Amino acid sequence: MPGIDAARLKSFFEGNQLFGLLNMFTGGAMSNLSIAMLGMGPYITATIIMQLLTMIFPRLEAIYKEEGEAGRQKFNQYGRILTVPLAALQGYSMIMLLRAQQVVGALSAYQMATTVLTITAGTIFLMWLGELISEKGIGNGVSLLIFAGIVAAFPTSLRQILLNWDPANIPAYVAFLVIGLAVIVGVVIITEGRRNIPVSYAKRVRGNKVYGGVATYLPLNVNPAGVMPIIFALSFLLLPGMIGAFLANAKTHWIAAVAVFMRDLFQNGQIIYSIIYFLLVVLFTYFYTAVTFDPKNISTNLQKMGGFIPGIRPGQPTTDFLNFILNRVLLVGAVFLGVIAIAPNIVQGVTGISAFQIGGTSILIVVSVVLETIRQIESQLVMRDYEGF
């Protein structure tokens, strides 16, 4: 990109912790203004929008849920198409934001068009690479690319801690290490935790053979939404900060004053920021679970297959029971996700260490991807009659 002020660019990302977090997810590509500066953001946003649209358009929901593998492929194709305009829009918005911060100089129409086109092409390449990994490799390609971006930031953060090393702060470093290990253990427990609801199937006699009569269980994960509520909350928190940063240098005094207030209010590290962040994560955990988990649909399918929960009548009573159990289990997962989201601010307040920018969100993503990849590898080994881990 032409006309970049490197000093202002560095100052912008150091002074805005929210953009610093997004930059970490891209492995530093955003701060370098590379062609992959948006990372997988537009693709993830498109996926979220498509899932939300299934609640509005019944035909789209039928394609996703009732048409099998062909329907899911068509649904994913719609998501890929939506990614292209979103990448162009986000790329243009990012350039205009950097121009408002005087990081980027004036661009001609041709330079703006080629820059936006290049950024969009970089996002499309990452989307293709992620799906290629999912198809030919092990695990989810998008998650692995985000995982790689986060892990790529580890050496830089560790180097920053070593440069600021002070023997007088050894107790704080020990406390930081203990809290970090506790967060990792908590993430593993919540990620793997589930409530198993017993399910029995009625016996059916056909000729001389008896079918059914088996007992199994329906697993309800403590955290069925994964990291999506945190991504939703970050998207909502990012918007006021971006608008504030964009209008901070406005010529109208009151607009500039309001913009500066919004920018400072939604700056990571503020108490009000942490409270809003926590509440949004809890809210979106329930919202996203309601989109992806339908107790009524599960109850209907159980009834069609002759299954039932012991002690619970089929139909609406089963739906009510599943809703009751889900809300109780989900409360633990939602509160935990909220605490994980604001964990960096808590750690910084306890230890005073702010150099290590690997937050609870990053740890949650890294641990989740590692656990899922291990499961994928073990399943492949079992298929080939090898011994697992």
| Cβ contact 340:183 at 8 Å | yes
Nearest to 201 by CA among 303, 295, 123: 303
In degrees and rounded to multiples of 5, residue 209 shows phi and psi of -110, 145
Task: Provide CB contacts within 8 A for 25, sequence distance 6+.
Answer: 39, 41, 146, 149, 150, 362
- What does the alpha-carbon distance between residue 193 and residue 222 come to, in Å, rounded to a whole number? 6
Q: What is the pLDDT of residues 3-25, one digit of tens each?
A: 677 777 777 776 666 676 677 66
How far, in Å, CA of 45 to CA of 349, rounded?
A: 32
Give the tokens for residue 207.
Answer: 């000729």
Mode of pairing for the β-strands spanning 209-211 and 194-201: unpaired
**359-362 contacts: CB < 8 A, separation 24 or more?**
359/21, 360/183, 360/187, 361/21, 361/227, 361/230, 361/234, 362/24, 362/25, 362/150
| Spatial separation of the C-alpha atoms in residues 199 and 216, rounded to whole Å | 5
Q: Give the pLDDT confidence of 16-70 residue by residue, as tens digits.
A: 666 766 776 676 677 777 888 888 888 888 887 887 788 788 888 788 777 777 8
Q: Report residues of the chain scoring pLDDT below 50.
A: 355-357, 388
Report the amino acid identity of residue 85: P
pLDDT at 232: 75
Q: State the pLDDT at residue 84.
A: 93
> What is the model's pLDDT at position 355?
47
User: What span, in angstroms and rounded, lies between the C-alpha atoms of 357 and 343?
Assistant: 11
**Distance between CA atoms of residues 186 and 191, nearest Å:** 8
Backbone angles phi, psi at 388, to 5 degrees: -80, -170
What predicted TM-score, i.e. pTM, was given to this entire model? 0.74
CA-based nearest residue to 144, from 385, 377, 344, 347: 377
206, containing H or E segment: strand 204-206
Q: What pLDDT, on a 0 to 100 scale, did the predictor assign at position 2? A: 61
Alpha-carbon span 221 to 239, nearest angstrom:
31
Domain parsing of the chain, residue ranges: 1-152, 168-389
For domain 168-389, the CATH class is: mainly alpha
* Amino acid type, 374: I
